[in-house]
Structure 1
């Protein structure tokens, strides 16, 4: 299942030697709890991952009185067959529980295909919900890290993107096949004489049989409910959901689904939040209506609602546990990660040498920069190692082309770093657009009378255009969306609208006609496209200006955070004042990139209050990540013995 806000709620088991996959970044801030899809491992349950109770029946067995088919030596099809011919694979014989499909129902090809191919278990099972159990929450490293940065972290189902679309389709296929199966049970109960030839039909035409899903659904229902109610209610659950008895009643056509639904609703109302009561009543209504009208699809709607209630109850419990143990999760972040990574490194399953060399190169570049700028503010020697870390990671956030990746030691922060890079690049892109606007105004021999107010309105309009672009796509971007440049793809796609907005501002500033002429838009659009697409001198100017501002804000925040505990660092950021302007901070428009212009028209010489707020927030976020990262890795890797002699020739400054 997927937590919203992330990328994927992947539990990192202590001592596991598998790849360290982040459970995901998200927004909202919630985390998508994924139905363990292996990353979709729970989507298709296999003999290796099904509940032990489900292993009682073999995958298939031969009907009584028959023997497994054996290939006679040298047998083949046709006179030309030889003993070396590959035998044609035989389809497995149906199990004793297999049900034949009555021809009288006249099922369509899709219904028959779903009976054969749809998943056997409901979308919500005990296993898919297991990552919401407290032990899994406590051992989920990504969740522990996200708890440091998000006070409102919570789980919710992940139904976005391609994976979510696939899950929705699998679930729809399952419930459609369940409706058809219920119709078959009803037909066979009403026509018992058609059951005489079931065995021979199963033997002679296995393609007309399918493995039933209803027993597994009842068994799953019992398992899941037991995880949600106190142990004192387990006997009642077992009694009312006894699979063999329920299936016997189904085959006889005497199962009272309304009474069963009413009992389940009463049980769930006793233990779930009051806000779920209406949902429970709806489930009873749907099953009642379906039972009275003999409409299987309506009964299935009630079953869907039932499993949705169970999933919501589990999410409620998990989110309550996150809130309850949030302080413990945060305060234990550093020792937990140190112990985890020490084990990984000692077993050789986590390679850190490239990250160590990256840090040494960043430290050497920082030393050379200090030598070239003796007048710059010098940090004390104890702070310089951490400052080198911030300089190195800032370079990757600000470079024109997206980095291939961040150092492996930032594994559980990579999503946050990509988001910071996106925000920084958007700020640079905004400066490009503002520079082009001011340049055009100056070419018309005009000057802005109220520059700060104009900038604030301009900024708000450009962000609105970019937000509209993202909303129209209905999804959040990821680093992989824009592999070409520094994320300028979205700006380039929306360039015509941005150019038109700049032209409108220019015409207003120059007192031109309200109708924007093409001779105004064309040069603005051409300049915008050039500066967004090329790593020019203009880009490097604004890159350096942004680097100085971000580094200054980051280092100032880091000095404040160093003596604080992880919880105190987290709580200190709640007191940050709101943005000084109505338009607020720049939205995180993932993967937007562009380049920045050379200094002209003093577009960067005056500090804008809204931009200052954004940079302060970026600096606090980066400092928070960096200080926690340093506490985990400084003694473990960056400052270990012999570090000073490694990598004597670091790469040139990027």
Structure 2
């Protein structure tokens, strides 16, 4: 099934990819119980007379009914006598009574506030289905720029952390629910203070999550196994029957987990066998020792395994379809955007894009070569406009609105360019100090590389750019290192007193402010001809040829000196102009990535948003998707809506710009 991937959100940390996020669950805490409980296989000895199972069982919880109940309970007249807590609150208080102390309070709070549905559901995994993959516009575009694009759970940023916390609450709520089962369906001691006349309502409120997680497991399993196994899945995961068995204390969870283990091992790679065995072990421990925490860990592991299997299938499909997806890029995206324009659902304001290009034409067309035809002239105007934005010329910061699928890539490239310029400023200060110290010898490449390594260590590892604030924040340490290495190379003994260090720091900060713009203009002047030459060279290449020639095979920070033919030429150009540049190969990679983005974007959007003619007028109401070029691909791959929520795996996608 491929490389092992992380488990479902909230799963016990069993890492499947070293660089992936893990799903942390609080460790189970061994605690004393005030209530006498029996094992899951013990007989049911409830003092109350519960209704028959078919009347008591509910596989779901009606959210609307629950909300209406809450509203009614808060609208009692002020002169009415105090009302007893509603059933969910009574159940939460029962948990606190059963498990005194902070542990009981925590479980009760999780029972109240935790989600009713598990972190992984059939619906949340639906974007990994093949139909959603081939109609996902973001994936279809991004696959052109990443050799190892793949899916992973999205736990990045504040939203990702909130997902982790929500999952943790869910699993703790599940523990609380199992504790309630022990209490409600064993019935010792009696349920004091709770009206048990409406037993089915109490059971419905108590069984909020277990039925849904069984149903989720069943649905996800059926999406992963062949049709011939669906009847087996339905038979073993009959939710109504399982809940009746739990209520009667005869549910064989160990047998169910062992059957699940056999089924998973039939359809999963042998490398996952240990993970599957761990799931069975947790379940067996939980049942035999009556530890709901361990049972929940087993369920958590099971959902993680199912999610990983689904991810493996999706990533395998991406690898198999990659060539077809890349070759069909221009055709698919043209149909996609025209279709949305026709139906009034476009994310792009065509008038805004046209205005951007009109301004770029006025500014840059006088600078373009007159030897080019009109089509090449139009393309050069576009290239100059985007490049000027990348280098922040005249305060430019906004890319064409039509480039929304490339905005993240362009912003990353822009951040890398800024870092390059700041490195250049530091190295210029180093050269200036050498002259001040009277050093007349050659500026040794080993010394320069040592300085670059030291400055990088001070700034810290970053894959997407440090940003101006971090350079300013580290200016004191940077200036000290520059001063130290310049003094050492010049054979000069420098006194590191406060005034000397403060002067160096102030000088570096002044250079950051005063020379950044000049350095940016010089770098743009050196980069732009390379970008134009690269685009000229590959403008008639197929999307797959662009992919093979312009997408790096390693991270851009460690590119070899001869990535391909164009890299060597670019590196020579830069090395002659920027003798102290820390990584000329990285600049070569940046020019390739910029060129790749522009070529593909221009092919899709030229007549939609920039260059108008009599046959296509995207701003009018007469646009037809049939005007877009056809390609010999399955019709299902030509257009369609998509959930644009997938994420790329950082472990497999290391190049920051991709």
Query: What's the TM-score once normalised by structure 1's chain length?
Result: 0.74
**1:259 to 1:551, Cα distance in 2 relative to 1, 3 A:** same
Q: Deviations 1:306-345 (Å, cap 9, x if unpaired)?
A: 1110111010001001101111111111111111111222
Q: Residue 61 of structure 1: CA displacement?
A: 8.0
Q: Which residue of 2 aligns with 1:489?
A: 469
Cα deviation, 1:257-276, whole Å, max 9, x if unaligned, reads 11111111111111112211
Q: 1:216-241 CA deviation, whole Å, 9 max, x = no partner?
A: 11111111111111111111111111
Is the deviation greater in 518-527 or in 224-233? 518-527
Given the superposition, is the C-alpha separation of residues 31 and 317 from structure 1 closer, same or farther in structure 2, using an over 3 Å criterion? farther
Which residue of structure 1 aligns with residue 385 of structure 2? 392
Are the structure 2 counterparts of residues 62 and 573 from structure 1 closer, same or farther at C-alpha, using a change threshold of 3 Å?
closer
User: Does residue 423 in structure 1 map to residue 443 in structure 2?
Assistant: no
How big is the alpha-carbon RMSD for the aligned residues of Structure 1 and Structure 2?
A: 4.1
Structure 2 match to 1:473: none
Secondary structure of the corresponding residue to residue 149 of structure 1: coil
The aligned runs of 1:429-444 (5 Å cut-off) are 429-444=422-437
Select which of 237, 241, 252 maps to 1:241.
Answer: 237
* Alpha-carbon shift at residue 501 of structure 1 (Å): 1.6
How big is the shift at 1:164?
1.6
2:479 to 493, 499, 504: 499
Matches within 5 A, 1:317-356: 317-350=313-346, 351-356=349-354
> Within 5 A, what are the aligned runs for 1:171-210?
171-191=167-187, 194=190, 199-200=195-196, 210=206
Tell me by how many angstroms 1:580 deviates: 12
* Equivalence for 1:5: none
Say whether residues 1:151 and 2:136 are aligned partners.
no
**1-side partners of 2:158 and 2:557: how far apart?**
39
Q: Is residue 2:529 matched to residue 1:552?
A: yes
Counterpart check, 1:101 vs 2:94: yes
In structure 2, how many angstroms separate the alpha carbons of the residues matched to 1:404 and 1:202? 65
Distance 1:327 1:54, change over 3 A: farther
Q: Which residues in structure 2 correspond to 1:393-408 (within 5 Å)?
A: 393-399=386-392, 404-408=397-401
Q: Distance in 2 between matches of 1:431 and 1:619?
A: 18
Asked if 2 retains the 8 angstrom alpha-carbon contact of 1:503 and 1:516, the reply is no
* Distance in 2 separating the partners of 1:244 and 1:198: 26
Structure 2 unaligned residues grouped into runs of 5+: 1-16, 24-57, 563-573, 616-658
CA contact (8 A) 2:535 2:595 kept: yes
Return the offset for 1:347.
3.5
2:539 corresponds in structure 1 to: 562
Alpha-carbon distance in structure 2 between the residues aligned to 1:105 and 1:578: 55
Answer yes or no: is 1:543 the counterpart of 2:520.
Answer: yes
Structure with the larger RCO, 1 or 2 (CA within 8 Å, 6+ apart):
2
**Structure-2 change in CA distance of 1:29 and 1:345 (3 Å):** farther
Q: Which residue of 1 aligns with 2:452?
A: 459
- Selected match of 1:637 from 597, 606, 609: 609
Deviation at 1:641, TM superposition (A): 3.3
Q: Equivalent residue of 1:504, what SS?
A: helix
Q: Summarize the Cα distance change of 1:603–1:269 in structure 2 as closer, same or farther, 3 Å threshold.
A: closer
Can you list the C-alpha shifts for 1:400-421, whole angstroms capped at 9, x where unaligned?
Answer: 7975532210000001100110
**Post-superposition offset of 1:101:** 3.5
Tell me what 1:413 maps to: 406
Structure 1 residues 511, 127: CA separation in 2 closer, same or farther (over 3 Å shift)? same
CA distance in 2, matches of 1:199, 1:258: 34
The separation in 1 between residues aligned to 2:371 and 2:498, in whole angstroms, is 52
Give 3-state SS (helix, strand or coil) of 1:60's partner.
helix
Unaligned runs of 5+ in 1: 1-27, 35-52, 80-89, 371-375, 471-475, 586-601, 644-654
Aligned pairs, number:
545
Q: How far 1:386 moved relative to its partner? A: 1.0
- Deviation at residue 118 of structure 1 after TM alignment: 0.4
Equivalence for 1:60: 65
Query: Could you say which residue in structure 2 is the equivalent of 1:297?
Result: 293
Asked whether the 8 Å contact 2:423–2:582 carries over to 1, the reply is no
Q: TM-score, normalising length from structure 2?
A: 0.74
2:589 aligned to which of 589, 608, 617: 617
Tell whether the 8 Å contact from 2:479 to 2:505 is kept in structure 1 after alignment: yes
Whole-Å separation in 1 of the counterparts to 2:123 and 2:77:
45
Alignment-derived partner of residue 368 in structure 1: 366
Alignment match, 1:512: 492
Does the Cα contact within 8 Å between 1:126 and 1:220 map onto a contact in 2? yes
Q: Distance in 2 between matches of 1:441 and 1:138?
A: 58
Aligned to 2:127: 131
Cα pair 1:94 1:211 within 8 Å, conserved: no
* Structure 1 residue aligned with 2:506: 526
Distance 1:580 1:224, change over 3 A: closer
Contact 2:413 2:590 in 1 (8 A): yes
1:150 alignment partner, SS class? coil
What is the rounded CA distance, in whole Å, between the counterparts of 2:206 and 2:406 in structure 1? 47
- Partners of 2:380 and 2:516 lie apart in 1 by 24
**Greater CA drift, 540-549 or 516-525:** 516-525
